[in-house]
Amino acid sequence: MKCIFCDIVAGSAPVSVIYRDAIVMAFMAIRPTAPGECLVIPQAHVDHFTDMDDDLAQHVMLIGQRIGRAVSAVDRKELDEHARRLAID
């Protein structure tokens, strides 16, 4: 099954990649609802968040936390509130 995230991982949908390893990638939201909003996705297709195994879910969360800390460190006054929000789709 393919989805927009598979296209992004394959490089056929343009995004601003801010992190990538063998398991996940992160990119700036195309239509952000908050300053500094980004998405962390598994590189392998997953139908739903609840379908990820424990190791993958932990890695997604770890990378999301590290990026949130980095974003918050850029301008803590402006981004602090937003950097602490976490949404799971």
Summarize as ranges the residues that interact with Zn ion (CB under 5 A).
3, 5-6, 45
Shortest distance (Å) from residue 13 CB to Zn ion:
11
Contact 39, 26 (CB under 8 A): yes
Shortest distance (Å) from residue 89 CB to Zn ion:
12
Shortest distance (Å) from residue 51 CB to Zn ion:
11
Among residues 6 and 17, whose Cβ is nearest to Zn ion? Answer: 6
Among residues 1 and 87, whose Cβ is nearest to Zn ion? Answer: 1
| Residue 27: exposure state from Cβ atoms within 10 A (0-12, 13-18, ≥19) | buried
Among residues 41 and 83, whose Cβ is nearest to Zn ion? Answer: 41
C-alpha 22/C-alpha 76 separation (Å) is: 30
DSSP string, 34-57: STT-EEEEESS--SSGGGS-HHHH
